[in-house]
Amino acid sequence: MRAQANIDSHLDLRLALEQLLSAGGKRVRPTVVLLVGGMLGVDQDRLVTLGAAVEMLHTATLVHDDLIDSALLRRGMPTLNSKWSPAATVLTGDFLFARAAQLASDIDNIPLMKKFAETLAIIVNGELTQLFAAHGVISRENYYDRIYAKTASLFEMSALSAAMLNAEDEAIQDTLRIYGYEIGMAFQIVDDVLDFSGDQDVVGKPLGSDLLQGLVTLPAIFYAEEYPSDPDVQTLRQGNWQDQASMSRLVDSIRSSNAIQLSLDEAAVHVERALKALALFPISVEREALIDLARYILDRSA
């Protein structure tokens, strides 16, 4: 065999990647892996590998996402695509996919590997759906499908796969899968609320930026359900989300309506379900930390 795959030979790129991987991000997904696995007594080494695989997969999808969206900032740092060619950005994402797959295969667990590959397929398929079909659609069902694919699927996989490393018991696996699923749904709903209600300097992009791209998230759906005859809602429903003046007005209307609170209530329902799933486990340091993590997801909106 010849050359080993070694990104160290691309010094500039290695530095860019180190920056990206060390630039923060909340590391919520690997935290879920470590805590769920820790609660079940899974070997620490395998958990660290799994956590790294999950974060690497997440980062790979972000790199391609930022390229697709032409985003300039991520985690407060310039995105790869803002500094590198599309070619380098595509390949860097691919390299992270490959590394994620290597890490996942290092765990030596075939069902976990299958779950890993399936989750990647769900995430990418969700992005394709968003690209081709999801603009201007005001539908709760559609929204939940989208945020499952985009976010909750990886949270679900993080909790489930950590559980798979120790629990033969499928009921335990499924309970923890539900924990991951529910906090993932809550996480994305809160993210979508922050796009309307957040401090623009903290969010780091214009408020209502989703809507201005035709992405209808939960606050907009609640508002449209309550005020179906609002002319701006009708503009959106007719697919004219490119009408900037109308969408800007709609963002303001949503911000000052109760749609924000209704959305947060919905996120809280998901967190409650997550906590209910945890209640089935005996008290432990890890369980308390998972409870805190679920609550922290809601606190981000405060």
Q: Is 93 helix (H, G, I), strand (E, B) or coil?
A: helix
Q: How far is the CB of 108 from a second copy (least distance, A)?
A: 5
**Closer residue to a second copy, CB minimum distance, 181 or 223:** 181
Cα separation, 243 vs 248, whole angstroms:
9
Q: How far is the CB of 191 from a second copy (least distance, A)?
A: 18
Cα separation, 219 vs 223, whole angstroms:
6
Residue 35: CB partners within 8 Å, gap ≥ 6? 286, 289, 290, 293
**Closer residue to a second copy, CB minimum distance, 4 or 229:** 4
**Closer residue to a second copy, CB minimum distance, 133 or 285:** 133
Q: How far is the CB of 245 from a second copy (least distance, A)?
A: 27
Instruction: List residues binding a second copy (CB under 8 A).
Output: 1-7, 9-10, 12-13, 61, 64, 67-68, 85-88, 90-95, 97-99, 101-102, 104-106, 108-110, 113-114, 116-118, 120-129, 131-133, 144-145, 148-149, 152-153, 156, 181
Q: How far is the CB of 7 from a second copy (least distance, A)?
A: 6
**Closer residue to a second copy, CB minimum distance, 109 or 209:** 109
Helices (H), the chain: 11-22, 28-39, 44-69, 80-83, 86-105, 110-132, 140-147, 153-164, 170-197, 200-203, 209-212, 218-226, 231-237, 244-255, 259-278, 285-299
**Helices 153-164 and 28-39: crossing angle, nearest 10°?**
30
Q: How far is the CB of 87 from a second copy (least distance, A)?
A: 4
**Closer residue to a second copy, CB minimum distance, 148 or 223:** 148
